């Protein structure tokens, strides 16, 4: 029997396995492509396609697509719709990302503290979460928007304030399970502080849940901005976002001015769908139970 | 997160767009052409019953009072218009014939003559009859006077010192002639338009009783008797269910009788075949249809259930769509002005607003003609002063008509520059030269004062939002920063009140409540209630002795120049920020309907509606 050398592929790192898992999900890849494309469109686009998006120009109002050098026409105040779509996208994506991330951080910290400490602390903290969830988020948003003057930073804060409850619950459930693991018990036994246990062991081990949820939070936040703006309580002009553009367009629906509705509406559907696809892919990546 | 929830989210996002896209897909191609005039010359569409006109009442405007003496809370124009079609007035003073003026051709009065000294007026009545055949006489006029004299505190049209207080004597010369003597000489237009138009002969022979079975007599000649009669008539008027059957309301002098009235407020007017006056009904039936919302009205309009209706101003650019359905769009211009008060007592900016050059600069940065045309789609008209200017009138000055402060950003900038204002690092003007000299910011304006304004604006109007976005843009160009505090109309009105500068609720700077017009005038458009010193609706505490004097004089002189001087003075002095005045409503009138000349004082005249035969 001749000696045979069996060549085995080098074992892949967990990161590359995860990446392969993620990229095997075609919808997730499509989601990434869409998000990247919309980011380039919204953040780099205005540098290439420069339009006036601060001062109105009523003499150029309500132009149809192609007229007077406006590929997507103009709106009722004379803003170039293509340029406005870029500026609005910047707001929607920026506020959505920041609010989603902030809500996730808040929720993760809250949930992990409650779950790890347990007892009356857990009971108190989670009753607050329950109470918050019982109040419709959109209602809170509209009330707060009516009280404070909406700016981009204020919108981020407001949306984060109503969005952190779900990640708090998810993280708390994870923390409840993790705190009985040996490595966490060992920290306690060696006199390690609660904050060390939470920051070094609980939170890092919930990262899968947190990251997946974060993508949905971003999608949620973008939708919430759209809702608020659609109801006329969003950013002050000349700032805008895709939801505000949709609101402006609604008054033109019977006039057949599709360029005031289609682009912003499609952009919202695309970005929200894309973040959901990415979240789906990430969940597959972190979820070992369903993997063959 | 579950897939279900994720799908729901994507579905919601898709839903917003799908809804919008669906609506767009359903829509025809529109345009923003200037609305055309009434379609009265158009051919009547096939299948239309030319004996009937269906008219849409404004949303939530349900008729609830039939007695032609209105009381508080029942003074809505639809009530008075219906009453006027059942009981003719002595005369009218309105814009129902295209111009605001006295109309002696359609009422019971055939002629009215003022005495040379202007202290008395004599009426000569036409030879007309009640629907039961009884002649209309001065006894019916006396009956009306007796009722309002004894019940003036209840009558909704009463104000102390005015009718009937300002009449010292009534002389009933004969059955068709009577003379009123006043306590002093008044402006005749004011008397005609706000006082004497109230006079309405009522059927003494049918109504001068205190119960259904009571006997008609002369009890109205005593105060107690007149009170008892008025009590009985008022009680009958509160019983809406009996409107169509109560014999009281069958005795009419107007071109219609009440055919039917249902609980929802649908009112059917039937032609008064016995009417022998000069303003006879053109059709046998007019249906006045009530609606709880404009959406419901527009839906019925689209299905051609209405011959004379309306659409929201935001739909004015859908003219071609309604034309293809067989309607004409005709904006109904109101006898109104639209403006935004400056709060002259605002602790931060009140002294700045008191500087005429500041108000001139801001007014020069508002392009009213373009805003009216582009944003309001011609559903609003520019306003340059205190007199309504959509409708021709002798009260309008040339100065107001010609706009003393046309859109001119360079002039606005130079006004600020000439008075010591310079742009800061953020581009917003700051007062650098405090003081009262010609080239300084003005008395009371502190150095460092910034032109950073907050405007309280009523929410819910797409056109108003766009108008303010355009204004914000122009103001930014001259170095004035503007932010908005949007709130529902009632909130804005609650927060807008005359105030002292040290009061906690005096922080508002500007207030806009004019998406449907800020102020509707009676036919004689004096502004003592909104611009005179200390007036209750003078929200911004504007005060100008010369304007006060002109407003006082306007009530007692017959020289139209006084009103013109008042118009010119306030057009130039800018007590408020003048803004485009939206129309009263955008009427949608079926092809072939005639007689739809629209009265700017918001009354309607069903007897003049008909079909082009």
Region B576-590: what's the mean pLDDT?
A: 95
CATH second-level architecture of B336-582?
Roll (3.10)
The pLDDT of residue A83 is above 80: yes
At residue B382's C-alpha, the angle toward residues B378 and B386, to 5°, is 145
pLDDT tens column, B482-513: 998 888 787 888 888 899 999 988 999 999 99
Quickly count: other Cβ atoms within 10 Å of residue B129's Cβ. 15
Between CA A139 and CA A85 the distance in angstroms is: 27
The band of A7, judged by pLDDT with boundaries at 50, 70 and 90, is: low
- Chain B, 292 to 351: residues with Cβ < 8 Å from chain A are 314-315, 317-318, 321
Reported as a single tens digit per residue, the pLDDT across B352-406 is 999 999 999 999 999 999 999 999 988 899 999 999 998 888 899 999 999 999 9
Residue positions counted in chain A: 292
Chain A segment 204-263 residues within 8 A of B by beta carbon are: 212-213, 216, 219-220, 223, 226, 230, 232, 236-238, 246, 248-258, 261-262
Average pLDDT score over residue span A142-164: 84
Task: Kindly give, in sequence order, each residue whose CB lies less than 8 Å from that of residue B324, ignoring residues fewer than 6 positions away.
Answer: B28
**pLDDT tens per residue, range B76-116:** 788 989 999 999 999 999 888 777 888 998 899 999 999 99
CA B441 – CA B612 distance, rounded (Å):
63
Q: pLDDT above 90 covers what percent of chain B?
A: 70
| Diameter over CA atoms, chain A | 91
B608: helix, strand or coil: helix
Does B36 have pLDDT greater than 80?
no
Which of B517, B58, B55 lies closest to B294, judged by CA? B58
User: Taking CB atoms and an 8 Å cutoff, what residues of chain A touch B317?
Assistant: 252, 255
- The residues, any chain, with a CB within 8 Å of residue B137's CB and separated by 6 or more, are B125, B175, B176, B201
B367 CB neighbours in chain A (<8 A) are 58
**What tens digit of pLDDT does each residue of A211-231 get?**
888 888 888 888 888 888 877
Residues in A closer than 8 angstroms to B371, CB to CB, are 58
Q: Which two tokens stand for residue B210?
A: 């205190």
Is residue A145 within a helix (H) or strand (E), and if so which, with residue range? helix A137-147
User: Which pTM value belongs to this model?
Assistant: 0.77
Q: What per-residue confidence (pLDDT) applies to B317?
A: 78
The residues spanned by each domain of chain B are 10-32+65-251, 336-582
User: B31, B298, B471, B473: which to substitute to probe chain A, counting the most A Cβ within 10 Å?
Assistant: B473
CATH 3.90.76.10, applies to B10-32+65-251 = yes
Query: Which is nearest to B87 in space by CA: B249, B294, B268, B319?
Result: B249
B8: pLDDT strictly greater than 70? no
Give yes or no for a cis peptide into A242 (omega within 30° of 0).
no
B-proximal residues of A, 80-139, CB under 8 Å? none
pLDDT at B518 over 80: yes
* C-alpha to C-alpha distance for A249 and B583, rounded to whole angstroms: 23
């Amino acid at each position: 029997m001749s000696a045979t050398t069996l060549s085995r592929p080098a074992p892949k790192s967990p990161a590359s396995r995860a990446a392969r898992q993620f990229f095997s999900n075609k919808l997730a890849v499509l989601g990434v492509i869409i998000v990247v494309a919309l980011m380039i469109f919204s953040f780099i686009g205005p540098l290439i396609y420069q339009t006036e998006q601060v001062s109105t120009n009523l003499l150029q109002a309500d132009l149809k697509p192609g007229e007077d050098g406006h590929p997507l026409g103009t709106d009722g105040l004379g803003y170039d719709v293509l340029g406005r779509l870029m500026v609005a996208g910047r707001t929607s994506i920026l506020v959505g990302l920041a609010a989603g991330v902030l809500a996730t951080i808040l929720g993760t910290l809250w949930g992990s503290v409650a779950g790890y400490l347990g007892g009356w602390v857990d009971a108190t903290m989670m009753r607050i979460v329950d109470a918050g969830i019982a109040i419709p988020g959109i209602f809170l948003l509209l009330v707060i928007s009516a009280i404070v003057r909406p700016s981009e930073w204020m919108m981020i804060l407001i949306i984060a304030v109503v969005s952190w409850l779900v990640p708090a619950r998810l993280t708390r459930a994870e923390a409840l399970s993790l705190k009985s693991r040996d490595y966490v018990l060992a920290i306690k036994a060696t006199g390690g502080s609660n904050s060390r246990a939470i920051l070094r062991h609980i939170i890092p081990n919930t990262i899968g849940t947190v990251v997946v949820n974060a993508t949905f939070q971003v999608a949620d936040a973008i939708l919430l901005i759209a809702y608020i703006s659609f109801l006329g309580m969003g950013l002050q002009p000349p700032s805008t976002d895709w939801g505000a553009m949709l609101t402006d367009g609604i008054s033109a629906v019977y006039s057949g001015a599709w360029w005031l509705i289609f682009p912003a509406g499609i952009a919202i559907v695309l970005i929200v769908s894309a973040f959901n696809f990415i979240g789906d892919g990430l969940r597959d990546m972190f979820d070992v139970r369903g993997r063959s | 997160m579950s897939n279900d929830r994720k799908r729901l989210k994507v579905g919601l996002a898709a839903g917003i767009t799908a809804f919008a896209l669906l609506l767009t897909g359903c829509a025809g191609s529109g345009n923003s052409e200037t609305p055309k005039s009434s379609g009265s010359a158009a051919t009547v569409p096939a299948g239309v019953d030319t004996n009937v006109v269906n008219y849409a009442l404004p949303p939530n405007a349900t008729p609830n009072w039939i007695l032609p003496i209105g009381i508080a809370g029942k003074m809505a124009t639809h009530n008075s218009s219906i009453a006027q079609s059942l009981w003719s007035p002595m005369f009218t003073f309105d814009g129902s014939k295209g111009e605001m003026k006295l109309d002696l051709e359609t009422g019971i009065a055939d002629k009215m003559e003022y005495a040379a000294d202007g202290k008395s007026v004599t009426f000569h009545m036409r030879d007309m009859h009640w629907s039961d055949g009884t002649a209309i006489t001065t006894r019916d006029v006396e009956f009306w006077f007796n009722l309002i004299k004894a019940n003036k505190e209840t009558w909704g049209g009463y104000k102390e010192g005015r009718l009937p207080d300002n009449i010292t004597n009534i002389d009933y010369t004969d059955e068709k002639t009577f003379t009123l003597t006043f306590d002093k000489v008044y402006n005749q237009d004011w008397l005609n338009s706000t006082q004497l138009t109230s006079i309405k002969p009522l059927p003494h022979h049918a109504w001068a009783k205190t119960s259904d079975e009571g006997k008609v007599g002369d009890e109205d000649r005593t105060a107690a008797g007149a009170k008892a009669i008025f009590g009985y008539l008022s009680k009958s008027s509160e019983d809406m269910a009996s409107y169509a059957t109560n014999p009281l309301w069958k005795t009419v002098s107007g071109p219609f009788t009440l055919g039917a009235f249902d609980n929802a407020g649908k009112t059917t007017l039937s032609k008064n075949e016995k009417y022998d006056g000069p303003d006879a009904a053109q059709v046998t039936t007019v249906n006045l249809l009530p609606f709880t919302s404009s959406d419901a009205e527009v839906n019925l309009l689209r299905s051609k259930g209405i011959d004379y209706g309306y659409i929201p101003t935001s739909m004015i650019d859908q003219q071609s769509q309604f034309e293809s359905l067989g309607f004409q769009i005709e904006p109904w211009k109101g006898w109104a002005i639209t403006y935004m008060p400056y709060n002259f007592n605002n602790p931060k900016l009140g002294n700045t607003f008191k500087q005429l050059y500041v108000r001139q600069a801001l007014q020069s940065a508002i392009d009213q003609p373009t805003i009216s045309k582009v944003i309001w789609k011609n559903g609003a008209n520019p306003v340059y002063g205190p007199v309504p200017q959509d409708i021709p009138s002798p009260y309008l000055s040339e100065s107001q008509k010609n706009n003393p402060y046309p859109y001119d950003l360079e002039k606005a900038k130079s006004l600020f520059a000439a008075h010591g204002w310079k742009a800061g690092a953020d581009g917003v003007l700051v007062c650098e030269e405090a003081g009262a000299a010609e080239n300084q910011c003005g008395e009371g304006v502190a150095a460092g004062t910034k032109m950073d304004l907050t405007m309280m604006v009523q929410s819910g109007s797409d056109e108003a939002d766009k108008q303010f976005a355009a204004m914000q843009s122009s103001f930014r160009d001259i170095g004035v920063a503007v932010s908005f505090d949007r709130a529902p109309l009632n909130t804005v009105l609650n927060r807008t009140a005359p105030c002292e500068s040290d009061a906690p609720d005096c922080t508002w700077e500007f207030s806009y409540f004019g998406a449907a017009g800020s102020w509707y005038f009676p036919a004689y458009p004096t502004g003592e209630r909104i611009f005179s010193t200390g007036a209750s609706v003078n929200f911004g505490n504007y005060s100008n002795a010369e304007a006060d004097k002109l407003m006082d004089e306007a009530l007692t002189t017959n020289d139209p120049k006084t009103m013109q001087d008042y118009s010119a003075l306030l057009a130039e002095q800018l007590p408020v920020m003048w803004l485009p005045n939206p129309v009263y409503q955008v009427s949608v009138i079926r092809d072939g309907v005639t007689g739809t000349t629209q009265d700017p004082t918001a009354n309607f005249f069903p007897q003049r509606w008909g079909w082009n035969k």
